[in-house]
Amino acid sequence: MTRVISASRQQQTSSVDPGTATPSVALPQIDIPTRISALKITEQARHLVTKVTTLNNDVRETHVGALTHEWVILTSQRAVLGARELLELLADQGFAWRDIARMIGVSVPAIQKWRKGEKASGENRHRLARLVAAQDLIASQGRIQDIESWFEMPIAEGIPVTPIDMWAAGETFLVLEYASGNLNPDEALTRLDPSWRTTYESPFETFRGEDGQMSIRSKG
C-alpha cells in the first residue's frame, strides 16, 4: 500500500507544468494607501515641471521682447547719423573694414566710398545703424569689455564660428541673445546650425603617446 501511494505522488509531481509553477521569489506587495500617495507625489512633480517650463518660456519671451525694444530705440537714435559717421564709430571699436563689409552685406570698395563721403542707400545706412546700436546695447549690459575682440572670438573651442559669422549669416538677434548671456555656446550654435556637431566634427583625435606627450592622429 505504501508503494502505491508513493508512486501516485511521484506521478502527480512529475505532471506539474513547469510553466505554471509558483515562482520561487515572491513579488513585493504594495498597500493601496502607499500606491495612492506615490501617484500623488508623481502628479505634483509633473505639475511643477510644467509650471517651471512655462515660467522659463515666459521669462525668455519677456527678455527677448525687452531686448528687441531697446535695440529698436538705439537703432533709431543712431540712424540720424550719416554712413561715414557710423563707419567711424565702428572703426573706433576696432572693426576691420572687411568684417564690417561682411556684416552689412556689401563689398569693401562700397565701404571705402562711404568713408569718402558718398551716400549709402537707406537700407545700407539702416544696417550700419543697427550694427552700431547692437554694440551700444552689448556695451550697456557690461558683460563684454572688448566688443570688437569678442565679435572675432570663436563661440566654442575648436568650432570656427564667431559672432561675426552669425551676424553675416543674418542671425543678428542671435548675436544679441548670446551676448546677453541668455544662450550658452551650444544653444547658440544649435540655433545657427542644428547639425553643427556633424558639420564641424574633426577627423582627428588627440592621444597620449608612449613618451607621455599628447599627439594628434586620424580617427578610424
pLDDT of residue 15: 47
pLDDT of residue 46: 77
pLDDT of residue 63: 61
184 in the Ramachandran plot: left (φ > 0), alpha (ψ -120 to 50) or beta? beta
The pLDDT profile of the chain, 220 residues, written as one tens digit per residue, is: 444 444 444 444 444 455 555 556 666 666 777 767 777 777 777 777 776 666 555 556 676 678 889 999 999 999 999 999 999 999 998 999 999 999 999 999 999 999 999 999 999 999 999 999 999 999 998 889 899 999 999 999 889 999 999 999 999 999 999 999 889 999 999 999 999 988 887 665 555 677 766 566 666 5
Nine-digit cell string for 54: 512655462
pLDDT of residue 6: 46
- Tell me the C-alpha distance between 128 and 78, whole Å: 9
Q: Within 10 Å of residue 167's Cβ, how many Cβ atoms?
A: 23
pLDDT of residue 12: 46
Cβ-count burial 73-99 (b if 16+ within 10 Å, e if not): ebbeebbebebbebbebbeebebeeeb
- Tell me the C-alpha distance between 159 and 182, whole Å: 20
pLDDT of residue 21: 52
Helix axes 122-141, 83-92, angle to 10 degrees: 30
pLDDT of residue 112: 95
Estimate the share of the chain in helix, then strand, then coil, as percent rounded to the nearest 5.
Answer: 65, 5, 30
- Tell me the C-alpha distance between 135 and 103, whole Å: 13
Q: What is the pTM of this model?
A: 0.66
